[in-house]
Structure 1
């Protein structure tokens, strides 16, 4: 069996999605989804281990990252939550995957959670970084606790023209700073960051990132063709598929609260695991815990 990853491309209605593939094509599919500002390198210690167990492992580059490209210059470079979920659905359709196990965090976790909530028949099980990742956009303009607002400084920065220029000029330095701030106790960030940084040179990276952080605060309109999905997400639908939430105890952007605030959003099997000494980049910082969560759901 060839366990080396292959970079393939799936042409969907909007994108030419680059994805790395591990394991046999006949294996039960697992899709691993990275976040911002990360890329498939987050799963380098997880994907091969799953492939060795006979799973077909798909690790896509999200829109705006790495070799993934839009099919047409006229397509809105949207980073809204519905666009990420639609990309995941389109990828599954193009690869003829009727159902898959999903594992994602940050942006990738949002896509996985949305598909699990709205299309549960497509999801065998779910490992989600930081629980219920659907945005409650209608309440996004309400001020949060000052410490939380402080941690979200980068989002407010991206609401400004200065932030757009800053991300354009300094994307590698800015993203490296976020890695350090969000994973303050992780010792391998400086070593591993250069392996992911090139993915942020994608020509659509800035536009997608800026739109993502503006749309979620209602400062930018979304893709009109996805408004139907955003309306469904506004109802904060429950997730019924078997799910495990992994939360970093040292997460610098969203530290795990003592009380699980997401449990009410899960109606099927659900377990929350808080990982000591782990920050925001959960699969790369805690590959063994991430792998165990997936296998507990798949084989436990």
Structure 2
């Protein structure tokens, strides 16, 4: 494992593949960690790509450089972290891949700094930029029920529950969101320690409270949030991968996100796969990356 000072963080990350290879940055979601890309990065590295898989803020060994920094989980912070990581490593442009929180960071950089992105794989929700101004609008009840954890995290009971029961809660979420994924105790055990990060609870709570407009964000990200409020289009080449069995964000019959993508775009539905798509279907993820690389 390596680490680098990037913006307000000391980001720890795994790197595989030749240093001169085309850079690929792979970003995990909640509640997962960098191990979600173990198989993907091994395969891509063997094909000559330079794979970098960071632990997001609040996960694993990644730490804030100052105790004074707000422990924000807002979308703009995730995007800024990714850009700072690229700057710190002097990566002018890279292929990005992500899902959940990591997919949001990748979509934000692709939308706001397209010159830094050679191609994008967005898993799950394809256009993964929050429309916070309209987050108060209720969804159909069947969809609202899948968001129980978001509402739980708005309460003090949820804060205490996540603090005391973080491992049981996160493992339960894995089972709900990927009902067909028979992960082993070894697989779970590799990731579970990432949730012991001292900032994990605070960042998770802030993320889910901020996205509904319930709490303020870090003022240092106000400019980025203002740009994201306009729901900017993504112009870089993109492939969206969606698991048909995703228990929290199942794909709709109609592609409602395609209107936000103005360049090369494909949507691929993967049978028998849930929310943690890179770890459940690494072959499909690698195939999508090879498609993007071949389109260069």
Task: Return the TM-score normalized by structure 2.
Answer: 0.98
Asked if 1:155 corresponds to 2:160, the answer is no
Per-residue CA deviation, residues 165-185 of structure 1 (Å, 9 max, x unaligned), is: 000000000000000000011
Distance of 2:270 and 2:47 partners within structure 1: 25
Distance of 1:191 and 1:266 partners within structure 2: 38
Q: Could you tell which deviates more after superposition, 184-193 or 231-240?
A: 184-193
Tell me if structure 1 keeps the 8 A contact 2:24–2:94. Answer: yes
What is the Cα-based RMSD across aligned positions, in Å? 0.9
Question: Shift of the alpha carbon at 1:189?
Answer: 5.6
Distance of 1:244 and 1:104 partners within structure 2: 11
> Where does residue 132 of structure 1 map in the other structure?
127
> Where does residue 230 of structure 2 map in the other structure?
235
> Where does residue 88 of structure 1 map in the other structure?
82
Per-residue CA deviation, residues 110-163 of structure 1 (Å, 9 max, x unaligned), is: 000000000000000000012100000011111110011100000000000100
Per-residue CA deviation, residues 177-230 of structure 1 (Å, 9 max, x unaligned), is: 000000011122655222110100000000110000000011110010101110
> Where does residue 288 of structure 2 map in the other structure?
293
> Where does residue 3 of structure 1 map in the other structure?
none
Matches within 5 A, 1:1-300: 7-130=1-124, 131-188=126-183, 191-300=186-295
Q: Could you tell which deviates more after superposition, 190-199 or 23-32?
A: 190-199
CA gap 1:46/1:149 in 2 versus in 1, 3 angstroms: same
Tell me if structure 2 keeps the 8 A contact 1:99–1:122. Answer: yes
Distance of 1:189 and 1:215 partners within structure 2: 34
Provide structure 2 residue ranges, at least 5 long, that are not aligned to the other structure.
none
Tell me if structure 2 keeps the 8 A contact 1:250–1:278. Answer: yes
CA gap 1:232/1:47 in 2 versus in 1, 3 angstroms: same
Tell me if structure 2 keeps the 8 A contact 1:180–1:189. Answer: no
Question: Shift of the alpha carbon at 1:13?
Answer: 2.5
Tell me if structure 1 keeps the 8 A contact 2:7–2:81. Answer: no
Per-residue CA deviation, residues 32-52 of structure 1 (Å, 9 max, x unaligned), is: 000000001111111011111
Provide structure 1 residue ranges, at least 5 long, that are not aligned to the other structure.
1-6
Distance of 1:15 and 1:193 partners within structure 2: 26
Question: Shift of the alpha carbon at 1:299?
Answer: 2.0
Task: Return the TM-score normalized by structure 1.
Answer: 0.97
Tell me if structure 1 keeps the 8 A contact 2:7–2:85. Answer: no
Distance of 2:293 and 2:71 partners within structure 1: 35
Give the 3-state SS of the residue equivalent to 1:45 in structure 2. helix
Query: Stretches of 4+ moved more than 6 A in 1?
Result: none
